[in-house]
Structure 1
């Protein structure tokens, strides 16, 4: 990869990391410090207990955004050349990520209501589909590093389907059980691990020509 291409790829990666970092930080800003009526221990405990949906929403959204960043980091680490065609698919994914703090706050404020749950899972569904589209666009020759097997590419594509699948399932469950319907999203890391083990990739890192010898 030329120096100019190297710079372009680094700039795109750094910009993406910055958006992920800002979005994941803004999640906690939506948890406002309580102001109980008095300073008794009971009042403080009740005030903190009332924030439980916000804490749960923060942890859930942190895990989701963190998983999206980890996948983005993993996929971009397999690139050896800059591809201008990935700029806009990457930007659309970042747009969904930047929107996450709002949808997470809405769901946390109304954890047992259907529409906020649908809105939240809909946001995750869009983000998951945009991630899958980006993965498909990025992982193609001649832009990926040598030694990246078709099996590894298949694993990464299947892993990218975990979020949209769990988001869709959570949205359906929210029709009857808003709140507990988020359980499939909490299980997403286990689903990703299961998909990875079922596919059984030969290697998780590209094999260079020197290592092959």
Structure 2
């Protein structure tokens, strides 16, 4: 069943709310023990650096996902059951982000928590790209003037670019988790994947 009009706005507003809550929950990991002596504050602040790193990476990754989600729905005028299910799957990965982020914040020197985090991001990236590809394969869901082939090609390239960064980070984790964590910065330095240009009408 195809739904149009204001019903699509409910999906957008709900998604925005879920993403906003998830991105806010990331900050709950950033706290100091109570009743610290003045001489202990600096030591505990230094101890928070791994959690701060996890917060910064996760915050900006979720922000990138939100921007891409916004751009996808800017090109969609209707939805079907498949689109809604894929969108809920994507939101499930977003809701789990504070959990996986806490893994690398608390156990950043271990490989398994990092691999879980990187695989989590790969799944979220794949699902968000799947959302865009589902819409592109069903032109009746798209706004007039959107070229489905360009739209589909763009999100295929973006998915592959981001998954390549995550795969590289996982490979690096077999040698050093520190190197693996900093490999994720490539997401922002090289601007691949979801950090690329706007998914606008007819733009490749």
TM-score > 0.5 by shorter chain? yes
Q: Does 1:206 align with 2:201?
A: yes
Point out the structure with max Rg over C-alpha. 1
1:37 deviates by 4.5
Output the CA distance in 2 between the equivalents of 1:195 and 1:11: 25
Which residue of 2 is the match for residue 146 of structure 1? Answer: 144
1:112 deviates by 1.2
Which residue of 2 is the match for residue 192 of structure 1? Answer: 192
Output the CA distance in 2 between the equivalents of 1:23 and 1:112: 25
Which residue of 2 is the match for residue 200 of structure 1? Answer: none
Which residue of 2 is the match for residue 211 of structure 1? Answer: none
Q: Which moved more, 1:45-54 or 1:177-186?
A: 177-186
1:79 deviates by 0.8
Q: Which moved more, 1:70-79 or 1:128-137?
A: 128-137
Output the CA distance in 1 between the equivalents of 2:35 and 2:185: 31
TM-score of the two chains, using structure 1 as the length reference: 0.83
Which secondary structure does the structure 1 equivalent of 2:79 belong to?
coil
Output the CA distance in 2 between the equivalents of 1:71 and 1:29: 25
1:107-146 to structure 2, matched below 5 A, reads: 107-140=104-137, 141-146=139-144
Answer yes or no: is the 8 Å Cα contact 1:159–1:196 preserved in 2.
yes
Count of paired positions: 198
Output the CA distance in 1 between the equivalents of 2:35 and 2:114: 28
Output the CA distance in 2 between the equivalents of 1:68 and 1:84: 22
Which residue of 2 is the match for residue 79 of structure 1? Answer: 76
Aligned-pair Cα RMSD in Å: 2.4
Output the CA distance in 2 between the equivalents of 1:195 and 1:108: 23
Cα 1:132/1:205, change in 2 over 3 Å: closer
Output the CA distance in 1 between the equivalents of 2:34 and 2:196: 46
1:1-213 to structure 2, matched below 5 A, reads: 5-35=4-34, 37-40=36-39, 43-140=40-137, 141-149=139-147, 150-189=149-188, 190-192=190-192, 205-206=200-201
Cα 1:28/1:194, change in 2 over 3 Å: closer
Answer yes or no: is the 8 Å Cα contact 1:36–1:47 preserved in 2.
no
1:126 deviates by 1.4
Output the CA distance in 2 between the equivalents of 1:171 and 1:63: 19
1:7 deviates by 2.3
Which runs of structure 1 show a deviation greater than 6 angstroms over 4 or more consecutive aligned residues? Answer: none
Output the CA distance in 2 between the equivalents of 1:23 and 1:204: 24
Gaps of 5+ in 1: 198-202, 208-213
